[in-house]
């Protein structure tokens, strides 16, 4: 078992080492896409039209509003008196963002409880709204940092959501609106899926095309040995990918990483296994690299679109919602976002982890079964 | 492997791809230590047969025993006893000679203690002593082909399947390759080799001629020559060739006539025309004859004749 596996691995890594462009192909597209995605979501915006509804009318609430207005980011276009007025402002487009301070805001803050701040966003103008939301988070974070005793900030990240004030966004129209931080962890999962699936599929189809696969099939090698030898390298590459772009997201885009690296490793591993399984299945149905390319395009794109990355799953037609259940990316996005942004642990994430484990198991089993060392 | 039985037996071996029959009820028996040649035109079904014998394709019908194991039922047992060089004989171009050998040695689980000796043997056999660390993709065809053979026999298989190993290789390298095949056979290895080079048929102990999935003829080169021509072969130098061919094709006693370069090859059976009568017969029909002589038929003559009658039979049925 280990003898055959070790020569398979030796061969894969030697081929990778000899391929002068391999490193380039593995790393550069990821970095470029990460930067493009990251920056597309983060250009600066000034004078976002803002409506304010202050139902608390306390010193604390007025102070928060003046903090917001003090920056050039927001321009208050309406100081509303009722919720209806706010609704109207958003509906007719005169305000992009609305801030609602509920009665009791000051009291809750003083009690040391988290005080909710409701933010309503015009989701149709999502890019601006998204950026504005980011600013608002920072301003609120700074504001609550000044409150004596009641606020504890997670150190190291200026833009971490404050514990003191619970920023309740209530996006309208575009219910799945992502904020900037929501976006980049999603990019990590998506890019990894695309890379790992296509690498795996192409690696096997290439051997089929050049004829070495036939030469291997006629040996007494066991399907498991072959499949392990063929996928383990990509598993490691996938882990490298995820680490690389996560570090880039944290250091360059200042995405907070609140959760446990170990749970992240677990989630990433399960996700990679499921992705490898997908790649193997694609390769089983392709005779040539062109076919693999077409299938890859045909399958990975829907997986991307139906993952909740950009379009909310809840808003999809029922049939598509069912389809998302077999999409590993859907679960990994939940996991990676929760680990990055919320820091929640296994107790909250086990259903998604379990789903990925099941998918990985099923897809890998099918691929081992289908690889029965025969050409018909 | 059972000690006494034949190396390969096929009975009614058939492979269908959907409605197309690529191999059609093939019966075959190859004894241990034989060099058996599979000869046939493109698309005849040589590769398909070899793949079935290697356990790579499941027979649609019939069965085959290789080293005593049924290829459909026990393909893994078959694999333990065979070496195979596919038509596209492929190695890893980005790996060196030595790394390729190590890979295939590992895949076949050649014992660690034996690996050094087998590697040296394969390198010497391929004539790659100076180039052990060269990347395989930089090697010329003849070297690659001998190295592929080396990879296929690292584990000392008693039966070796070589699918058109000499295609696309220059004549000198082809000759060297056949020397290697003979050395292996002398060491007791059974070899089944396919080719579409007719001249290579002469190097085999026994030949199976395959056309359109059917076994058309089977025997030693000598047997095929004498048995299947159905008469004696004559070479005629005459002009004009076309007219001569035309009159001969209809004449009594002529089994076959064909243009062969700037001459005619004619097979005469018993009764009707004979060698003595040929010049006169042709001159009667306005053909001037320079010379008539008997020739030993080449296997190519036999094959051309067999394949053409075979096709004729199929068309009329
Ligand atoms: N997997 C397949 N599916 C459908 N048809 C096939 C398949 N493999 C081979 N064939 C067909 O079966 C026939 C025999 O093919 P095969 O490769 O065995 O011929 P061959 O004698 O090896 O020819 P060549 O000299 O070109 O290698 C051909 O017509 C080929 O197109
Ligand atoms: Mg062939």
| Average pLDDT along chain A, 376 residues, taken 10 residues at a time | 88 89 82 79 68 88 84 84 84 80 81 75 63 74 61 24 43 40 75 87 88 91 90 92 88 82 94 92 85 84 80 76 90 86 82 95 88 71
Distances (CA, A) of B303 to B193, B208, B215, B232, B300: 17, 11, 12, 15, 5
Query: A244: closest CA among A300, A192, A199?
Result: A192
Query: A123: closest CA among A54, A173, A194, A53?
Result: A173
Are both A135 and A202 inside the same structural domain? no
Are both A226 and A138 inside the same structural domain? no
Give me the pLDDT at residue A123, please: 59
Are both A115 and A243 inside the same structural domain? no
Q: Are B206 and B30 in contact (CB under 8 A)?
A: yes
Mutate to test the pocket of ligand 1, among B47, B50, B57 (most ligand atoms within 8 A of CB): B47
CA angle A294, A295, A296 (to 5 degrees): 90
Is A11 in contact with B92 (Cβ distance < 8 A)? yes
Looking at residue B135, the DSSP 8-state letter turns out to be B
Give me the pLDDT at residue A159, please: 27
d(CA A4, CA B103): 8
Tell how far the Cα of A87 is from the centroid of ligand 2, in angstroms.
75
Residues of chain B with confidence (pLDDT) below 70: 1-3, 228, 308-317
d(CA B64, CA B54): 10
SS3 B14: strand
Q: Are A121 and A173 in contact (CB under 8 A)?
A: no
Is B79 in contact with A219 (Cβ distance < 8 A)? yes
Tell how far the Cα of A349 is from the centroid of ligand 1, in angstroms.
53
d(CA A13, CA A23): 12
Are both A36 and A54 inside the same structural domain? no
Q: How many CB atoms lie within 10 A of CB B38?
A: 27
Residues of chain B with CATH 3.30.70.100: 230-296
Is A14 in contact with B106 (Cβ distance < 8 A)? no
Distances (CA, A) of B310 to B13, B216, B298: 19, 7, 19
> Whose structure tokens read 């390198």?
B123
Q: Is residue A163 part of a domain?
A: no
Give me the pLDDT at residue A153, please: 22
d(CA B152, CA B148): 6
Ligand lying closest to the C-alpha of residue B41: 1
Are both A108 and A253 inside the same structural domain? no
Is B104 in contact with A210 (Cβ distance < 8 A)? no
Is A10 in contact with B102 (Cβ distance < 8 A)? yes
Are both A249 and A305 inside the same structural domain? yes
Are both A204 and A106 inside the same structural domain? no
Is A211 in contact with B86 (Cβ distance < 8 A)? yes
Q: Is residue A169 part of a domain?
A: no
CATH code for the part of the protein at B8-220: 3.40.50.300
- Tokens, residue A136: 């608002």
Residues of chain B with CATH 3.40.50.300: 8-220
Tell how far the Cα of B164 is from the centroid of ligand 2, in angstroms.
7
Give me the pLDDT at residue A256, please: 77
Parent domain of A146: 48-154
Give me the pLDDT at residue B316, please: 35
Give me the pLDDT at residue A212, please: 92
Ligand lying closest to the C-alpha of residue A376: 1
Q: How many CB atoms lie within 10 A of CB B59?
A: 23
In sequence order, which ranges of A146-260 are alpha helices (DSSP H)?
A: 180-210, 212-217, 223-252
Among B56, B76, B80, whose Cβ lies nearest the Cβ of A214? B56
Within 8 A of B57 by CB-CB distance, chain A residues are 374-376
d(CA B66, CA B77): 9
CATH code for the part of the protein at B230-296: 3.30.70.100
Q: Is residue A260 part of a domain?
A: yes
Give me the pLDDT at residue B26, please: 94
Within 8 A of B84 by CB-CB distance, chain A residues are 215, 218
Give me the pLDDT at residue A199, please: 87
**Ligand 1 atom showing the smallest separation from residue B57 Cα:** 1
d(CA A144, CA A70): 15
Among B82, B90, B108, whose Cβ lies nearest the Cβ of A211? B90
Q: Is residue A54 part of a domain?
A: yes
Are both A130 and A265 inside the same structural domain? no
Number of domains, chain A: 2
Looking at residue B9, the DSSP 8-state letter turns out to be E
Is A218 in contact with B79 (Cβ distance < 8 A)? yes
Among B54, B94, B104, whose Cβ lies nearest the Cβ of A19? B94
Half-sphere exposure of A259 (CA within 13 A, CB side): 25
Mutate to test the interface with B, among A219, A221, A230, A374 (most CBs of B within 10 A): A219
Are both A79 and A227 inside the same structural domain? no
Query: A277: closest CA among A372, A370, A376, A374?
Result: A370
d(CA B302, CA A107): 107
Is B95 in contact with A215 (Cβ distance < 8 A)? no
Are both A96 and A34 inside the same structural domain? no
Flag whether the ipTM exceeds 0.90: no
Are both A136 and A183 inside the same structural domain? no
Segment B73-110, tens digit of pLDDT: 999 999 999 999 998 878 999 999 999 999 999 999 89
Within 8 A of A19 by CB-CB distance, chain B residues are 94
Q: Is residue A164 part of a domain?
A: no
Mutate to test the interface with A, among B107, B136, B162 (most CBs of A within 10 A): B107
> What is the torsional sign of CA B56, A216, B100, B157?
negative
**Domain closes at, from A119, A154, A189:** A154
Q: Is residue A253 part of a domain?
A: yes
**Which A residues 206-225 touch B at CB under 8 Å?**
210-212, 214-221
* Residues facing B208 on adjacent strands: B38, B218
Give me the pLDDT at residue B310, please: 57
B42 Cβ below 6 A of ligand 1: yes
Q: Is residue A241 part of a domain?
A: yes
Domain containing residue A121: CATH number: 3.40.1710.10
A10 touches chain B (CB under 8 A): yes
The residue contributing the CA closest to ligand 1 atom 6 is: B17
Segment B143-174, tens digit of pLDDT: 999 999 999 999 999 999 999 998 888 888 88
d(CA A278, CA A367): 9
CA angle A82, A84, A85 (to 5 degrees): 70
Q: Is residue A165 part of a domain?
A: no
d(CA B317, CA B302): 23
Is A11 in contact with B99 (Cβ distance < 8 A)? yes
- Tokens, residue B145: 């082909």
Within 8 A of A376 by CB-CB distance, chain B residues are 57-58
- Concatenated DSSP letters of B193-250: EEES-HHHHTTSSEEEEEETTEEEEEE-HHHHHHHHS-SEEEEEEEE-HHHHHHHHHH
The residue contributing the CA closest to ligand 1 atom 30 is: B43
Are both A195 and A319 inside the same structural domain? yes
Query: B79: closest CA among B192, B159, B191, B137?
Result: B159
Among B57, B87, B107, whose Cβ lies nearest the Cβ of A4? B107
């Amino acid at each position: 078992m280990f003898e055959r596996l070790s020569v398979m691995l030796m061969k894969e890594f030697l081929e990778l080492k000899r391929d002068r462009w391999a490193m380039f192909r593995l790393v550069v597209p990821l970095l470029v896409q990460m930067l493009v995605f990251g920056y597309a979501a983060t250009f600066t915006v000034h004078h976002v039209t803002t409506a304010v509804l202050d139902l608390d009318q306390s010193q604390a609430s007025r102070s928060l509003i003046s903090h917001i207005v003090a920056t050039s980011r927001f321009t208050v276009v309406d100081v509303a008196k009722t919720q209806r007025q706010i609704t109207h402002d958003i509906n007719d487009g005169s305000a992009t963002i609305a801030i609602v301070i509920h009665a009791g805001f000051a009291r809750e803050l003083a009690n040391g409880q988290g005080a909710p701040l409701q933010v309503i966003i015009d989701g149709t103008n999502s890019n601006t709204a998204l950026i504005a939301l980011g600013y608002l988070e920072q301003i609120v974070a700074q504001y609550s940092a000044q409150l004596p005793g009641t606020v504890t900030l997670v150190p190291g990240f200026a833009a971490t959501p404050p514990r003191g004030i619970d920023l309740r966004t209530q996006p309208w129209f575009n219910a799945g609106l992502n904020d900037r931080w929501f976006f980049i962890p999603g990019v990590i999962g998506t890019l990894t899926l695309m890379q790992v699936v296509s690498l795996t599929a192409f690696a096997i189809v290439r051997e089929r095309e050049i004829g070495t696969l036939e030469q291997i099939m006629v040996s007494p090698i066991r399907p498991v040995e072959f499949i392990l030898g063929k996928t383990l390298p990509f598993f490691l590459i996938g882990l490298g990918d995820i680490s690389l772009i996560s570090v880039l997201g944290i250091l360059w885009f200042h995405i907070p990483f609140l959760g446990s690296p170990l749970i992240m490793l677990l989630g990433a591993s399960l996700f990679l296994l499921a992705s490898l399984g997908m790649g193997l299945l694609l390769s089983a149905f392709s005779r040539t690299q062109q076919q693999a390319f077409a299938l890859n395009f045909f399958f990975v794109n829907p997986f991307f679109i139906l993952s909740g990355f950009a379009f909310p799953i809840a808003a999809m037609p029922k049939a598509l919602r069912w389809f998302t259940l077999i999409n590993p990316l859907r679960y990994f996005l939940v996991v990676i976002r929760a680990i990055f942004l919320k820091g929640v642990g296994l107790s909250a994430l086990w259903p998604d982890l379990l789903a990925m484990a099941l998918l990985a198991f099923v897809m890998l089993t099918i691929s081992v079964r289908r690889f029965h060392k025969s050409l018909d | 492997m059972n000690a006494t039985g034949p190396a390969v037996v096929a009975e009614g071996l058939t492979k269908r791809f959907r409605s197309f029959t690529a191999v059609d009820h093939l019966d075959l028996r190859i004894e241990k230590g034989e060099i058996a040649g599979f000869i046939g035109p493109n698309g005849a079904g040589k590769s398909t047969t070899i793949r079935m014998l290697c356990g790579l394709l499941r027979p649609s019908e019939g069965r085959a025993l290789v080293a005593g194991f049924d290829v459909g039922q026990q393909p893994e047992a078959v694999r333990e006893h065979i070496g195979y060089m596919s038509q596209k004989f492929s190695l890893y171009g980005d790996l060196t000679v030595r790394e390729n050998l190590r890979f295939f040695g590992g895949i076949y689980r050649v014992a660690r203690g034996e690996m050094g000796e087998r590697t040296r043997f394969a390198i010497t056999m391929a004539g790659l002593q100076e180039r052990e660390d060269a990347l395989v993709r930089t090697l010329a065809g003849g070297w690659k082909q001998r190295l592929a053979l080396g990879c296929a026999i690292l584990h000392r298989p008693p039966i070796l399947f070589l699918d058109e190993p000499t295609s696309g290789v220059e004549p000198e390298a082809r000759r060297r390759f056949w020397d290697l095949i003979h050395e292996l056979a002398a060491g007791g290895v059974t070899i089944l080799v396919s080719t579409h080079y007719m001249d290579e048929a002469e190097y085999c102990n026994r030949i199976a001629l395959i056309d359109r999935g059917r076994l058309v003829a089977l025997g030693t080169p000598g047997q095929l020559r004498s048995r299947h021509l159905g008469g004696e072969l004559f070479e005629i130098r005459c002009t004009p060739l076309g007219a001569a061919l035309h009159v001969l094709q209809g004449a009594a006693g002529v089994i076959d006539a064909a243009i062969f370069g700037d001459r005619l090859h004619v097979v005469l059976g018993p009764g009707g025309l004979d060698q003595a009568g040929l010049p006169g017969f042709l001159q009667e029909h306005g053909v001037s004859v320079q010379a008539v002589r008997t020739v030993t038929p080449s296997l190519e003559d036999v094959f051309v004749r067999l394949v053409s009658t075979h096709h004729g039979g199929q068309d009329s049925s």
